[in-house]
Structure 1
Amino acid sequence: MGTSKSSTGPSAHVPLVPPWADEVGSSTPDGASQQPLFDADISTLTSPIAPARRFGPARRNFGNFARLGNSTDLRRGLAYYVSTGYGGSKTFTRRMGGTAATGGRLGALLASGQTADGTTLHDLTLARGSDANAVMDAIVTAVRPEDGTQDGEASRRSVREALSDLLDRFPDADLFKLDDVQRSFVIERYAALDVYQRFFLDMGKVVIAAAGNTPSGLGRLREIREFIAQSVAASFRRIRGEKGTATSANIAELTQHALAQTFSIFEEYLD
């Protein structure tokens, strides 16, 4: 569950995609070029400007869901959140470019055991201790250093929670040597949690207020979080089935396209 302070959503008349959000490149961590995993890239054109009352339809539907728990309201809320709140799936995918970029760094670190500059995870952990918490903290700092931004804080929390969820799912997992299934779980869970963190910052207050009390609101937010997580995981499975397992070099691209597919499906809930 997100713990960052929720807001009523970003203002109108600002770029839907901040200049720093288009982070996903087309090179490996060492700067070498690579063969793209997908034929088409997500557009990186100038961002459209957010309209007034951009989250109005989403707020209405999430408010209904918070009060009544109707899954149709949840789906319609997500559809409006993507389509009118963020200008559609392509624009929202660009807005979440930092999620894909961090997912790429996370995947590369977990696969190789070292950062792009050659520092090993063991070395990163030494100054912190030797228990699982020290290793998780080292991973978080390596893949998403503190930068004082709202997105950075949310992303760091998402990485930490994904690693914690991994140890809940695989109690015997060795964070220094994860297998393919475990690494895939972390990347998928991280991506889903980071989408949820963005949602919580935009819509969390709406859901809690509409539910009538904080415990009920937090319960509805858990339902939304798991719905997002299941949707993102399903998109990753479809892409792996079509393209095969991604390498550490193109995990950011795979993550980007899994998010794009998820957001496109959310938009279709209005059809």
Structure 2
Amino acid sequence: MGTSQSSDGPGPGVPMVPPWTPAAPQDPVPPPPPPPGELQDAPPGIPPADGLPPAGPAVPPGLQPPPIAPDKRFGGTRSSLGNFARSGDNRDLRRGLGHYVRSGYGGSNTATRRFGGTAQTAGSLGHALYSTATGAADSPIDTAALTGRSTEEIATAIIEAVRPVDGTQDAEAERAAIHDAMSELLTEYPEADLLHLSDAEREFVIKRFTAIDVARRFELDVGKHLLEKAATATVAMARLKQMRSYIAETVAASFRKLKDQGRTLTAGRIARVVQDALRDTFEVFEGYEE
């Protein structure tokens, strides 16, 4: 899939949320009735009967135009990443992530809107994997045509069905993130069948895709500076690995927090849960002290 760390990232004077970004991610199918005892998402404005707090607010549907990026929007991020490249200190990385959300994207709300495509693609990916595994008639994957094909061919077919090429950098990054998430799945679950994934395996793919895509966007926006400031290529690769791991840990913690609130990655509501996990992640980043 290649890498894109050589990008200079978006500059000033452009919308912080590109016009092709989905305004409000929607899942491909309506949520099915939950099993007995499983919590449902409460309708907007109605507290859940069990007393848990309602789901996080939905990302604004784009009625207000996104803010325009100012000059030196990533200046603070790059400064902190330069320090991180030299020191390897997670405190410098945290400062960089804080600047990235606060200044680079104007806060967690806009950052969440910017990653609307991540949530939308996660929903499409979850639907494709679920409908294929259950033999649903609306599955976008032709299981019969893929029978006997290699794992790589099956993975490619899934990527093409879920996130076709559309000429945007987002599509390239998301396709690569899906590929990497499925590769990690096969490392974690060597016997996994991509056409018949279990609930746990599908959940693993969705969570890893989300974390990988956040890290890829961060790298595309500001990763070049980190690479340039590291003492050697070996150090640069080590810092990238450290950064990706840190972001992954934060995203995973956000998913765990939502799960504790009854917000699970059930088929039919994956996009909305991923959106809330992204919002929580960016609120964590935004809260890091300068």
Check whether TM > 0.5: yes
Q: Deviations over 1:143-198 (max 9, x none)?
A: 10111211111110000000000000111112111112111110010011111111
Query: d(CA) in 2 for partners of 1:130 and 1:152?
Result: 25
**Where do residues 23-34 of structure 1 align in structure 2 (5 Å cutoff)?**
23-26=23-26, 28-30=27-29
Which shifted more, 261-270 or 17-26? Answer: 17-26
Structure 2 counterpart of 1:78: 97
SS of the residue 2:234 aligns to: helix
Of 49, 59, 62, which residue of structure 2 is paired with 1:42? Answer: 59
Structure 2 counterpart of 1:125: 146
SS of the residue 2:104 aligns to: coil
Q: Does 1:8 align with 2:8?
A: yes
SS of the residue 1:145 aligns to: coil
8 Å contact from structure 1 (residues 115, 142) kept in 2: no
Q: 1:87 to 1:39 in 2, by over 3 A?
A: closer
Query: What is the total number of aligned residue pairs between the two structures?
Result: 268
Structure 1 counterpart of 2:251: 232
Task: Report how far residue 231 of structure 1 moved.
Answer: 0.8
Q: 1:247 to 1:31 in 2, by over 3 A?
A: closer
SS of the residue 1:16 aligns to: coil
8 Å contact from structure 2 (residues 126, 206) kept in 1: yes
Q: Does 1:164 align with 2:179?
A: no
Query: d(CA) in 1 for partners of 2:77 and 2:139?
Result: 45
Q: Deviations over 1:94-119 (max 9, x none)?
A: 00100000000001111111799544
Answer with 1 or 2: which has the greater Rg.
Answer: 2
Structure 1 counterpart of 2:221: 202
**Where do residues 1-271 of structure 1 align in structure 2 (5 Å cutoff)?**
3-26=3-26, 28-30=27-29, 38=55, 40-43=57-60, 44=62, 45-113=64-132, 117-123=138-144, 125=146, 130-270=149-289
Query: d(CA) in 2 for partners of 1:159 and 1:36?
Result: 27
Task: Report how far residue 120 of structure 1 moved.
Answer: 3.5
Task: Report how far residue 135 of structure 1 moved.
Answer: 1.1
SS of the residue 2:17 aligns to: coil
Which shifted more, 166-175 or 15-24? Answer: 15-24
Task: Report how far residue 80 of structure 1 moved.
Answer: 0.3
Q: Percent identity?
A: 46
Query: d(CA) in 2 for partners of 1:39 and 1:70?
Result: 32
**Structure 2, unaligned stretches of length 5 or more?**
34-39, 43-54
- Give the aligned CA root-mean-square deviation in angstroms: 2.3
Structure 1 counterpart of 2:52: none
8 Å contact from structure 1 (residues 24, 252) kept in 2: no
Task: Report how far residue 19 of structure 1 moved.
Answer: 1.6
Q: 1:2 to 1:71 in 2, by over 3 A?
A: farther
Query: d(CA) in 2 for partners of 1:39 and 1:120?
Result: 32
8 Å contact from structure 2 (residues 203, 265) kept in 1: no
Q: 1:119 to 1:12 in 2, by over 3 A?
A: closer
Task: Report how far residue 31 of structure 1 moved.
Answer: 7.2
**Structure 1, unaligned stretches of length 5 or more?**
none
Q: 1:53 to 1:181 in 2, by over 3 A?
A: same
Q: 1:118 to 1:71 in 2, by over 3 A?
A: closer
8 Å contact from structure 1 (residues 78, 267) kept in 2: yes
Query: d(CA) in 2 for partners of 1:240 and 1:84?
Result: 30
Task: Report how far residue 241 of structure 1 moved.
Answer: 1.3
SS of the residue 1:84 aligns to: helix
User: Would you tell me which structure has more helix in proportion to its own residues?
Assistant: 1
Query: d(CA) in 2 for partners of 1:4 and 1:22?
Result: 22
8 Å contact from structure 2 (residues 124, 162) kept in 1: yes
Query: d(CA) in 2 for partners of 1:202 and 1:17?
Result: 13
